[in-house]
Amino acid sequence: MSPLEIAAVVASALGVWLTGRRSMLCWPIMLMASVLYGVVFWQARLYADTALQAVFATLSLYGWWRWLRGVEEKGAVTIMPLSNTALCYGLAASAAGGMALGLLLRATTDDPMPLLDALLSAYSILGQIWMARRYLANWWVWIVVDTLYTGLFLVRELYLTAALYAAFVVLAAAGLRQWRRAGTMAGYRRD
C-alpha cells in the first residue's frame, strides 16, 4: 500500500460521501480521486483503468460545471425503463469494445491482465451511462463490475483499493434495493 493509493482511497470515499449529500465539493474531490487513481493504476500497469480515470475526470469536470450553473436535478430519481433491445445492445457493445481494447492492450502494453482490465473498463462506462439515464440495470452492472474489480485489485496487491471496491459492491446492492422500492412506488418494476 503506497501513500498514493491511500490518498486515492480516501479521496474516492470522501467524494462518494459528498455526492450522497449533494455537496458541490464532491466534484473537485472526485476529480482529485480520478487523477490519483490514474497514477496508481498506471503504476500497477492497469492501462485501461488508467484511461477510465481520465474519462471519470472529464465527467467530474462536466458535473462540476453543471452544478455551478445550477442545473442539478431536484427531488427523487425517476427510474426509466430499459428495453430488451437496449439491454442486449449495451451488453454486446461493451463486450465488443472491451475485447477490442483488450487485444490492443495485449499488443501494445505490458498489462498483465489486458482482457479483464479492458472489459471491466468497458462495462464501467456502460454502468456510468446507464446510471446517468436512470436505468435500474445500472446497479447490476456495478455489482458485477465492482466484484470483479475487487478480485483484480487483490491480485495486483492494491489492498485498500480492493477494500474500497468491496464497499462499492455493498453500496451498489443498497442502491439497487432503493431504486427497486422507488420503482415499485412509481408503478414501474423492471429487473
Domain parsing of the chain, residue ranges: 3-185
Kindly tell me if the per-residue pLDDT of 95 is higher than 70: yes
Q: Are 62 and 72 in contact (CB under 8 A)?
A: no
Kindly compute the dihedral angle of the four CA atoms of residues 97, 83, 188, 73, in this order, to the nearest 10 degrees: 50
Cα 94 from Cα 145, distance rounded (Å):
12
The distance from CA 179 to its chain's CA centroid, rounded to whole angstroms, is: 17
Nearest to 60 by CA among 88, 85, 24: 24
For the segment 103-150, what is each residue's pLDDT rounded down to a tens digit? 999 999 998 899 999 999 999 989 877 876 678 898 899 899 999 999
Q: What is the pLDDT of residue 116?
A: 94
Cα 122 from Cα 120, distance rounded (Å):
5
Question: What residues have CB less than 8 Å from 121, skipping those under 6 apart?
Answer: 48, 49, 51, 52, 98, 101
Q: What is the pLDDT of residue 185?
A: 52
Q: What is the pLDDT of residue 21?
A: 54
Q: What is the pLDDT of residue 67?
A: 66
Q: What is the pLDDT of residue 50?
A: 92
Kindly tell me if the per-residue pLDDT of 4 is higher than 90: yes
Nearest to 190 by CA among 111, 136, 152: 136
For residue 77, name the pLDDT band (cuts at 50, 70, 90): very low
Other residues' Cβ atoms within 10 Å of the Cβ of residue 137: 21
Q: Write down the pTM of the prediction.
A: 0.76
Nearest to 90 by CA among 53, 139, 123: 123
User: What 8-state DSSP symbol labels residue 77?
Assistant: P
For residue 76, name the pLDDT band (cuts at 50, 70, 90): very low
Kindly tell me if the per-residue pLDDT of 72 is higher than 50: no
Q: What is the pLDDT of residue 166?
A: 96
Q: Are 27 and 63 in contact (CB under 8 A)?
A: yes
Q: Are 44 and 116 in contact (CB under 8 A)?
A: no
Cα 172 from Cα 137, distance rounded (Å):
11
Q: What is the pLDDT of residue 17?
A: 67
